[in-house]
Amino acid sequence: MLGPDPSWYLVVAAILFSIGAFGVLLRRSPLVVLLSIEIMLNGANLALIGFSRVHGDHDGQIFALCVMAVAAAEAVVGLGIIVAMSRRRLTLDVDQFRALRG
């Protein structure tokens, strides 16, 4: 088998996912939150491809392609919202939007 052991891929995937998750949790700018989500998705993609390699079939790669499509769509919507927000001159701070507070 070429390349490093598949478990390394999973470690990298986990690191990517965690970086993304902490970004989502800690950052306030919606743009950065969106970027962090993209990183989480790519971490997940990497894990899927790694599993595909382990199992020796293509299911995981197909899943990864689907996730990419979803990520593209999500980026479009998320960026659209952010553009709309900045056009209305709203503060770009996710903590300001807490109308659903109990």
Footprint on this chain of other proteins (rule: CB under 8 A): 21, 24-26, 94-95, 97-102
In whole angstroms, give the CA distance from residue 69 to residue 75: 10
Token duo for residue 43: 């971490």
Task: Find all residues with CB under 8 Å of 30, minimum gap 6, and list them.
Answer: 78, 81, 82, 85, 92, 93, 94
Nearer to other proteins, 56 or 102 (CB): 102
> CB of 98: closest distance to other proteins in angstroms?
3
Nearer to other proteins, 56 or 95 (CB): 95
> CB of 42: closest distance to other proteins in angstroms?
18
